Structure 1
Amino acid sequence: MTSLLIRNARLVPLGAGETAPDAPVDIAIRDGVVSAVDAGLERPDGVEELDAEGRWAIPGLWDQHTHLAQWTLSSQRLDLAGARSPEHAIRAVAERIAEYPDLPVIGWGHRSAGWDREVTVSELDAVSGDTAVVLISGDGHHAWLNTTALLHLAMPVRDSVVRETEWFAAYPRLATLVGNDGTSPEAYRRMLDESAARGIAGLVDFEFGAGVEEWVERWAQGCDLLRVRAATYSHLLDQVIEAGWRTGDPLADDPRLTMGPLKIISDGSLNTRTAWCCEPYGDAHRLEYPAGQPNLSGDELREQLGRAHRAGLEVATHAIGDAAVQEALAAYADTGARGSIEHAQMARRDDVRRMAELGIRASVQPAHLLDDRDLTEKIWGERSERCFAFRWMLDDGVELALGSDAPVSPLDPWLAMAAAVHRSADERGPWHGEQALTVREALATSVDGQPTVAPGSRGDVALIDRDPLLRDLDQADTASLGTALRTMPVAATVVAGRLVHRA
């Protein structure tokens, strides 16, 4: 924890109706905490000084939902986000094998729910030979493997994709195919540097299969640039409880690295069509489970919530379908557990109100709506009006926290804010614009609950080259607002009083 004096910064008011001084001020950070905000502050001996030159100062940004090992690996993977059919994906695999015949193919990003048929293992086998092929869907909830990869990862041979819990259990074994080069300390440092360049001060890591100890080791190897909350999963819960780690406890004797929540994946996803819904999907005739299904029984869900709560852990419950959201809230109410609904992609208004009553946070990823817009209309139909219902959530008093779910969406808080404000990524108008946030609301839900930079707030500050509230633009022109947010220039990022990025 260090000290810093930031000169000549313009404060950005985040609260509704809040104002900020018209003239630039100085921001004193002492031992990692903002100690004073005023004009003409004296610089204590030995304290570094940074001149903001009239730039705008906001609290450091957070991404509340990431899978950091997968994000660091994504640049090395075969990008299948543009694959519009199984044939398109197969051609890309064949081309990759022709170019690199001695390397396994790990693909990422295809969205098969928009394809006109189911895929088979045998068609991958026909172009891959003995080269292992693993194609991970863009939602992370299923993978299309060839026979060589199935055998290598010790899974039963079949002619269909691997879904949900079976895939989550197999995912950590990918390292036996590709090694760990993509998740080395050097790779993580590059990822953290890139995050700092976007104004990010903190990340919540929900990496599959990872242990908290891995972050402790990584921290000691130089990956101590930003704040990190390291989550755990049920298969490691006993270990976490035995170690006595509670949510918020410092790890590695550093308050910037802390114990995060228990992550529970209670249902599936839209793209895999396993999100658990109150009503059947529009293409239910293609599905084994017409309305999706839960990954855990009600008793199993409550048992995990209860154990975590008794051990002092918050719980982050993945729930995408409205039935999953409803059941998760009932489990929170029954156990007294605290924490969040992760995604809350489709919810009924009464359940949004229930979320507020229980004090359960909605951890949402606005950029998902850019990818899911057309598919949602196709298979959820009129239910789309209650998808990504951010306005309901804020109006009903739900605490809202924005994230990316990287690599499902890019690790970029400005993209998330743009999606929350404009709700479109193309020439079409906003998708259910009645659920949009204002620029101020989007920014306020991206700073981990920190207020306008003030004495007592964390010493995490991002300096921005233009007013991030975009008060010079027409607030009704959400397309222009979205474009400006996606291209927001970050000049510097400070975490706990330490300068971690300077453009």
Structure 2
Amino acid sequence: MTDGPVLLHGARTPGSPRAVDVRLAHGVVTEVAPAGELEARPGDEVVDARGATVMPGLVDAHVHWSQWAQVRRRVDVGHARSPEEVATIMAAAAPGAPGLVVGHGFRAALWSRPPHKDVLERAAPGVPIALVSDDLHAVWLSPAGLAHLGRDHPTGLLREQEAFAVMGELSALPDPGELDRWVDAASAEAAARGLTGIRDFEYDDTPSTWVRRAEHGLSLRVEAAVWGPWLDATLDRHHQTGDVIGHLVRLGPFKILADGSLNTRTAACHHAYPDPDDGHGALNIDPGDLRDLMVRVARHGLHPAVHAIGDRANAVVLDAFAHVTGPGRIEHAQLVASEDVARFARPGLVASVQPAHLVDDRDVAERHWPDVHARAYPYADLVAAGARLELGSDAPVAAPDPWAAIAAAVARTGDERPPWHPEQALDVATALRASCGGHLEVRAGEPADVVLLDEDPLHADPGTLRAMPVRATVLAGRFTHRAG
């Protein structure tokens, strides 16, 4: 899928007035030299960078890509402030909609009343409705929606494993060819924001799905994670994390859910939630079983990637990693006990974090983690302790815009309010490195995944970072985005 050689003339390096020429050929950065030293060769496409900043392409370290592609075809209820408001939105969308009416994005953590199937029934009698929560840990169904999916439930609000099963069924509703077209469109939009890679945690046989898609060409480099139902088949094929399984596709880590989420109040915490019904949240797996599973997959060359949001869940996962040989990841790490921060510096461990969540959930954290929210999203403490951070979006929980994530990590706010716990802010360079493989310079010998920016991000304020104009994106030496 690589095109012919490309010679970028006169690009700037981040934070420096130094201009460079960069040659890309055969999917690799072949040369980087001071501006004016590289001459065009026959067959080169010569691009005058005109002083644009060149840096490695950005990677979203945590997405659910099929769901992101589908979300934009679902009814958006993300701004609704009550169950009744959601029901009104869904009722307005119901006329003329064929079959199940699917919405996305409800956020019940700040509502005074919980979602209930009867609220949907009163607004839209007999209409099959399914709503996926913003955090992907709950599904809210109307009575007809429950019947449509062959289920019965006293409230219609399904959480955790019950919800994941329904989300899998909803993701299977589009024709695979149609879903692939939606994925292609989403990938092209992501490339326009400078993304060259994603790590996809879609709950599916994700590696097989991406190998099939790669046969028709991709706009992003993909690491495709493995989930429990497909573990044995993966081991039978002797595949390991990092193996090339298709063009631009590698096998990703093995995903495990240690707990739930903040918005659904299922994140496992040392403290109790204010609502007694929520208790301390819950672990989704026994600690001993978690340890044994992590040890097993690591022994076969699969890197464990463990979802942990509450401070108890993070402690349990860190305990388990003490028995694991080799690399691994903790996904989210939203609330961390002070005594556990230093344990994230374990060699080979990545703290995969999503800064947009701290912007979206600061009010939720203050309500449901009232005494401990100063320890939420502790990015600066993790970096100071020697942890390796990677930034992502958790799309569709947040849009897969790397610049929104970088700006949130730096500014700790997304509106007119002052920064939330600014002592945990990252400097721009650290946030950028956590988004593009650990370094900011394009280097010879590395994949030809690069981005050209109209602004130097190291000299940009948060507003400029958030709206960063991307002039061009190159994946494996091929332009996937060009502005103008």
What SS does the corresponding residue of 1:335 show, helix, strand or coil? coil
What SS does the corresponding residue of 2:32 show, helix, strand or coil? strand
CA distance in 2, matches of 1:184, 1:90: 27
Deviations 1:64-109, CA, capped at 9 Å, x for gaps: 00000110011111111111011111111111113x3534211111
Q: Tell me whether 1:203 sits opposite 2:228 in the alignment.
A: no
* Equivalences for residues 33-52 of structure 1 within 5 A: 33-38=28-33, 39=35, 40-52=37-49
> TM-score under structure 1 normalisation?
0.92
Contact 1:364–1:403, Cα closer than 8 Å, also in 2: yes
Contact 2:448–2:476, Cα closer than 8 Å, also in 1: yes
Q: Which residue of 2 aligns with 1:92?
A: 89
Q: Which residue of 2 aligns with 1:62?
A: 59
Q: Which residue of 1 aligns with 2:404?
A: 415
What SS does the corresponding residue of 2:38 show, helix, strand or coil? coil
Q: Which residue of 2 aligns with 1:474?
A: none
Q: Which residue of 2 aligns with 1:501?
A: 481
Q: Which residue of 2 aligns with 1:232?
A: 226
* Equivalences for residues 49-128 of structure 1 within 5 A: 49-98=46-95, 100-128=96-124
Contact 1:316–1:339, Cα closer than 8 Å, also in 2: yes
**Match of residue 329, structure 1, among 293, 318, 331:** 318
Q: Which residue of 1 aligns with 2:20?
A: 25
* Equivalences for residues 137-148 of structure 1 within 5 A: 137-148=133-144
Q: Which residue of 2 aligns with 1:339?
A: 328
CA distance in 2, matches of 1:150, 1:156: 6
CA distance in 2, matches of 1:297, 1:333: 16
Q: Which residue of 1 aligns with 2:14?
A: 12
CA distance in 1, matches of 2:177, 2:143: 24
**Match of residue 275, structure 2, among 264, 275, 284:** 284
Q: Tell me whether 1:273 sits opposite 2:265 in the alignment.
A: yes
Q: Which residue of 2 aligns with 1:378?
A: 367
1:383 alignment partner AA: V
1:201 alignment partner AA: T
Contact 1:340–1:363, Cα closer than 8 Å, also in 2: yes
1:174 alignment partner AA: L
- Superposition deviation, residue 250 in structure 1: 0.7
What SS does the corresponding residue of 2:481 show, helix, strand or coil? strand
Contact 1:151–1:157, Cα closer than 8 Å, also in 2: no
- Superposition deviation, residue 384 in structure 1: 1.0
2:23 alignment partner AA: A
Deviations 1:251-307, CA, capped at 9 Å, x for gaps: 12x2x21100111111000000000001111x23232xx110100001221232122
Contact 2:69–2:179, Cα closer than 8 Å, also in 1: no
**Match of residue 254, structure 2, among 262, 265, 275:** 262
- Superposition deviation, residue 358 in structure 1: 4.4
- Superposition deviation, residue 175 in structure 1: 4.6
Deviations 1:125-162, CA, capped at 9 Å, x for gaps: 23333332111111000011112222332333322410
Identity %: 41
1:233 alignment partner AA: W
2:481 alignment partner AA: H
1:279 alignment partner AA: H
2:237 alignment partner AA: A
Q: Out of 270-279 and 28-37, give the one that drifted further.
A: 28-37
Q: Which residue of 2 aligns with 1:155?
A: 151
1:193 alignment partner AA: A
2:314 alignment partner AA: V
Closer, same or farther: CA 101–496 of 1 in aligned 2, 3 Å: closer
Q: Out of 203-212 and 68-77, give the one that drifted further.
A: 203-212
- Superposition deviation, residue 193 in structure 1: 0.8
CA distance in 2, matches of 1:182, 1:117: 40
- Superposition deviation, residue 181 in structure 1: 6.7
* Equivalences for residues 442-461 of structure 1 within 5 A: 442-461=431-450
1:497 alignment partner AA: G
2:138 alignment partner AA: H
Q: Out of 414-423 and 178-187, give the one that drifted further.
A: 178-187
Q: Tell me whether 1:359 sits opposite 2:351 in the alignment.
A: no
**Match of residue 220, structure 1, among 204, 215, 221:** 215
* Equivalences for residues 311-330 of structure 1 within 5 A: 311-330=300-319
Contact 1:450–1:457, Cα closer than 8 Å, also in 2: no
Contact 2:84–2:119, Cα closer than 8 Å, also in 1: no
- Superposition deviation, residue 240 in structure 1: 1.0
1:333 alignment partner AA: A
Contact 1:332–1:338, Cα closer than 8 Å, also in 2: no
1:326 alignment partner AA: A
Closer, same or farther: CA 136–182 of 1 in aligned 2, 3 Å: farther
- Gapped runs of 5+ residues in structure 2? none
Q: Which residue of 2 aligns with 1:491?
A: 471
Q: Which residue of 2 aligns with 1:476?
A: none
CA distance in 1, matches of 2:358, 2:6: 39
What SS does the corresponding residue of 1:455 show, helix, strand or coil? coil
CA distance in 2, matches of 1:164, 1:182: 29
Q: Which residue of 2 aligns with 1:425?
A: 414
- Superposition deviation, residue 337 in structure 1: 4.8
Contact 1:359–1:398, Cα closer than 8 Å, also in 2: no
Contact 1:73–1:183, Cα closer than 8 Å, also in 2: no
- Superposition deviation, residue 450 in structure 1: 4.2
1:278 alignment partner AA: H
2:72 alignment partner AA: S
Q: Which residue of 1 aligns with 2:452?
A: 463
Contact 1:247–1:258, Cα closer than 8 Å, also in 2: yes
CA distance in 2, matches of 1:201, 1:36: 20
